[in-house]
Amino acid sequence: MGQQKSKISPKDLNELVNHTDFTEQEIQQWFKSFKRDCPSGILSLKEFEKLYKDFFPNGDAKSFAEHAFRTFDANGDGTIDFREFMCALSVTSRGTFEDKLNWAYNMYDQDKDGHVTKKEMLEIMKAIYKMVGKEKLEEVITDGLSPEQRVDRMFNIMDNDGDHQITLEEFKQAANKDPKLVMLLQVGSNGSVS
């Protein structure tokens, strides 16, 4: 067995510079941290859950972390490698408004069929409430709705054609109209409440 790489290869570094919003220096720093925390070079679901637990110590982040993990794991192999980590981090922390909406939509669309159902949205919403806590969430969105009420409200806003599912286009149109909705859609995607 060879020695673990402690530096990112020039080819991988160049590829990440071209596919993320991070500089070479930032990527090298992230790589060093990633290798320190994940010497194997991959992040497991358990390790990922721990990261979210560290961000949200007063809540239960397990369920939300599972959904975020699925979205970070671009190739679906059950792990997150450095490239997947950096690409997702770039979108969630520095991406455009549209990039973030696409990322959030992919999280909500759990079965990847191109539609978000009430059941899918409710599962994510309940996970957000458990992770953040209703009190903390109410600091950002002060309407006092339960997860079920919030999902009903979101569907009333988003489901333009009344087919009980949300397309990406409906999702984007609604998010562009309702600033509170945008804040909620971004909860948890970057380790914060807004």
Output the pTM of the full model: 0.81
Contacts 24+ apart (CB under 8 A), 173-182: 175/101, 180/141, 180/143, 181/154, 181/157, 182/97
pLDDT in tens, 135-193: 666 665 556 778 898 889 888 888 989 999 999 999 988 888 775 665 665 555 544 44
Q: Is a pLDDT exceeding 80 seen at residue 7?
A: yes
Contact by Cβ (8 Å): 165, 159 = yes
Amino acid at 10: P
Name 80's Cβ contacts closer than 8 Å, sequence gap at least 6.
42, 43, 48, 69, 72, 73, 88
> 11-94 and 97-194: same fold?
yes
pLDDT in tens, 18-63: 999 999 999 999 999 999 988 999 999 999 999 888 888 888 889 9
CATH number for the domain formed by residue range(s) 11-94 = 1.10.238.10
pLDDT in tens, 81-121: 999 999 999 998 898 888 888 888 999 999 999 999 999 99
From start to end of 111-192, where are the E strands? 116-117, 165-166
Per-domain residue ranges for the chain?
A: 11-94, 97-194
CATH H-level superfamily of 97-194: EF-hand (1.10.238.10)
